[in-house]
Amino acid sequence: NNNNMAIFLTTLSTLKRGGVNMDPMFLHYRSERIIDLAQPKYSAEKLEPSINPNVIWGNQEHLWPISKAALASQVTGRVSDLSAPKRNFQDNDMVNRPQYVFGCGRHSVIWQVNPNSIATPTTRVFVLSQPKPSNNLNNVEEYAFGCGRSSPYWVKKSQKNNFPPRPRTEELARHKNPHPNYLQPRAVQTAIPIAAMNARPSGRLESLSAPKTRREGPYRDAMWKVAEGAMNTTPTPRQSELSRHKPLVDGFASAREVMWPVSCAARRAIATPRTEELAKPLIRASMDHLQFYPDAFSVKELAKKARCSQRIEELAHPITRG
């Protein structure tokens, strides 16, 4: 039943944590099955080394042996067509071209332009291709034409056109005054006035600034004698009431001990066939072999000797651009 199962599992956990108990009572009731179950769990590879074959990473050997039926099978026409290698169109000066000629980041042009395809630009195209002329005619700084410029844009040549500002302009040009109770932030370094540096302290300040004199050595021994009157003193009812510790709440259960005795019934328990079946370790293949595919980049010999159809050969021709 469930109680016997719980007792059995408790016995196993106790044996694994603390080892086999050498109590004479335990030796009297022990069984070989309990000692066998108390042994630590071994790796699946040590139990059955044949589940993970010794495969070297990076070679072209198969993980599992190929069956004779697979070796004797004949390839179909469709498989032969799909296994045909891609034709290499890089000939002569196109062999081993750099990668930037196929995408963003390339220099001008992707491939050499045919001289016959170069047309003469029209007058309008030639005018539009001219760069924008610079406005820096008078050697004015660049910041004078945009954000961050100094004031004014450039130096005035004459002062003849300087008119007096209007009262309204002067009113708008005045900055906003701070609040009358506003206090500016204090400086990091405080300036000491001359009077404070030349002042003389009074006698009271000198007496307060003198350090306290203490004698050398401990002020009181770590242990001292208790008086007879203190030892014969009887506490008052109020002191006895205050000295009592706070009681625990009704129904409080203390923490369970780390180690507890195992009952005799648990020691004599026999595991059921279902428990023995669940106690067997699961044998799984390691992740290195599950994720390893040695034939990922290998091409079969039949695929190298295959011939493509006329339609595939027609589609494989590159597009000719002028």
Determine the pLDDT at residue 24: 47
Rounded to an integer, what distance in angstroms lies between the CA atom of residue 138 and that of residue 115? 44
pLDDT exceeds 80 at position 140: no
Q: Are 63 and 297 in contact (CB under 8 A)?
A: no
pLDDT exceeds 70 at position 99: no
Q: What is the DSSP string of 33-68?
A: HHHHHTSPPPPHHHH-GGGS----TTSS--SSPPPH
Mean pLDDT of the 240-263 span: 90
Q: Is the dihedral of CA 171, 174, 180, 182 positive or negative?
A: positive
The one-character DSSP state at 100 is: G
Most confident of the following: 21-25, 35-39, 193-197, 295-299: 193-197
pLDDT exceeds 80 at position 222: no
Range in 1-5, 51-55, 287-291, 302-306 with the lowest mean pLDDT: 1-5
pLDDT exceeds 50 at position 9: yes
Tokens, residue 301: 């010999």
Amino acid at 217: G
**For residue 218, how many other CB atoms are within 10 A of its CB?**
7
Give 171-212 pLDDT, tens digit per residue. 999 988 889 899 888 888 888 899 999 999 999 999 999 988
Mean pLDDT of the 297-319 span: 88
The one-character DSSP state at 4 is: H
Mean pLDDT of the 129-156 span: 60
pLDDT exceeds 90 at position 273: yes
